[in-house]
Structure 1
């Protein structure tokens, strides 16, 4: 749970950078491939991460309008990345301008539960990490290179000229 807006903003910047790195490693052909009937395509997972920002932001009172209205799922990753970065930036601006450190202990109704505003900020980050992890598994199954996020990936180790840990 966050107790300081600036801590969230600093962490969020790193999460956005990591998410964009993963999205950027997905080509348009692979983005629409199904690896299993019960697994979302990479495009659908990426769009889910993107559309959650304004949806959850609206529910939390950070956004005042439905930014998703009339926005279909993009057809390519480049378009999705631009929309994602725009929403991620708007989230930072809203958190910085609408909430202060002193309100992060206040509770709000979120998805049938009561969360503190600080927990809500934490869930934005955990939700990203959760789905990025799912996406990297699908990327491996599709034969895509996976970028390192919280540490080097297999491809990163190889680019360093080092033996890939088993």
Structure 2
């Protein structure tokens, strides 16, 4: 559990940078590749990563721009990468302005 926004922001930024490096490896062709036959494609899995965290944080009352979880994934790897970068920055800006250290003590059911 985090007790400081700065600690949360620092760790989330580090994790987001790792995710960004992974997403940067995607190509338009790779988006169509299934992880296993009959399962999600890499494009759908990447889009799931882009949309799930914002969807969960919106449930806390945090307001920021990010794509809706159930939208269709873009056909372009560059668009997925760009959208992730923008959503992370928007989320972090919102956390800095809308939350306090005390906000981290609140319990929120994310289900």
Please name the residue that 1:109 is paired with: 109
Unaligned ranges ≥5, structure 2 = none
TM-score of the two chains, using structure 1 as the length reference? 0.60
Change (3 A) 1:71 1:41: closer
Q: Retained in 1: the 8 A contact 2:64–2:90? A: no
Change (3 A) 1:68 1:61: same
Give the deviation of 1:6 after TM superposition. 0.6
Change (3 A) 1:66 1:43: closer
Task: Find the aligned partners of 2:103 and 2:19 in 1 and give their Cα distance.
Answer: 28
How big is the alpha-carbon RMSD for the aligned residues of Structure 1 and Structure 2?
2.2
Q: Retained in 2: the 8 A contact 1:53–1:91? A: no
Q: Which has the larger radius of gyration?
A: 1
Q: Retained in 1: the 8 A contact 2:34–2:40? A: yes
- Return structure 1 stretches of 4+ with deviation > 4 angstroms: 64-67
Please name the residue that 2:53 is paired with: 53
Across the two proteins, how many residue pairs are aligned to each other?
Answer: 111
Structure with greater proportional strand content = 1
Give the deviation of 1:61 after TM superposition. 0.9
Q: Does 1:74 align with 2:67?
A: no
